[in-house]
Chains A and B, each alone.
Chain A
């Protein structure tokens, strides 16, 4: 069984640029959630994709967008990067998304994004 993987591990961008982060879900999982974690804070939910459809969204502006592919891997895109976007971006996969309140999420190692 393959766990959740994310790429790249680290990334440095400048303000105003665009970035794409990638996530491969755990084998058998059809749901991917994305989180932003600033230093010293808990993960903040960005959005979730369930079977290629957005299934919920947190309080993030539209410049944060996502995509889920037929193989259930996913991308997080952030446009017009701001300094405050510097954070650890976490991807989590689960078996059946928000359909099940007892949804257990399996997290990847994260991508550390630094915006200069």
Chain B
């Protein structure tokens, strides 16, 4: 299984850019990298997905280097409402569909 490793927690302040890096050393060729956001007592919410290089949408950017062994979620100008747990997910190929969430990164945004 493609195991992911993220920092357990991060702190930031309103208006700053936040970068959360995820390591996935044994990512397979056809795997995509997906990031989710989760607030307490709610289901995770899709943020962004990519395969390589850079992907940007209205809420975040995702940077993936050429070797694809890591990825970085970038949140521009965070606000208090961005306080949440962020999960990096890689779906492992190999016959069965078994997505593996790690423990995620708890981001706290301070005023």
User: Which residues of A come within 8 Å of B, CB atoms?
Assistant: 4, 33, 35, 40-45, 48, 50, 55-58, 88, 90-92, 97-98, 101-110, 112
For A58, A103, A105, A106, the residue with the greatest tally of chain B CB atoms inside 10 Å of its CB is: A105
Q: Across the interface, which residues of A come within 8 angstroms of B101, CB to CB?
A: 35, 42-45
Q: Are A101 and B93 neighbours in the complex by a CB distance under 8 Å?
A: yes
The answer to whether B91 has its CB under 8 Å from any CB of chain A is: yes
The answer to whether B57 has its CB under 8 Å from any CB of chain A is: no
Contact of A41 among B30, B34, B41, B103 (CB under 8 A): B103
Q: Are B46 and A56 neighbours in the complex by a CB distance under 8 Å?
A: no
User: Which residues of B come within 8 Å of A, CB atoms?
Assistant: 30-32, 34, 36, 41-46, 49, 51, 87, 91, 93, 96-104
Q: Are A108 and B46 neighbours in the complex by a CB distance under 8 Å?
A: no
Grouping DSSP codes into helix (H, G, I), strand (E, B) and loop, the B interface class, with mixed when no group exceeds half, is loop
A112 to B41, CA, bound (A): 9
Contact of B97 among A88, A90, A97 (CB under 8 A): A97
Q: Across the interface, which residues of A come within 8 angstroms of B100, CB to CB?
A: 45
A97 to B99, CA, bound (A): 11
A103 to B97, CA, bound (A): 10
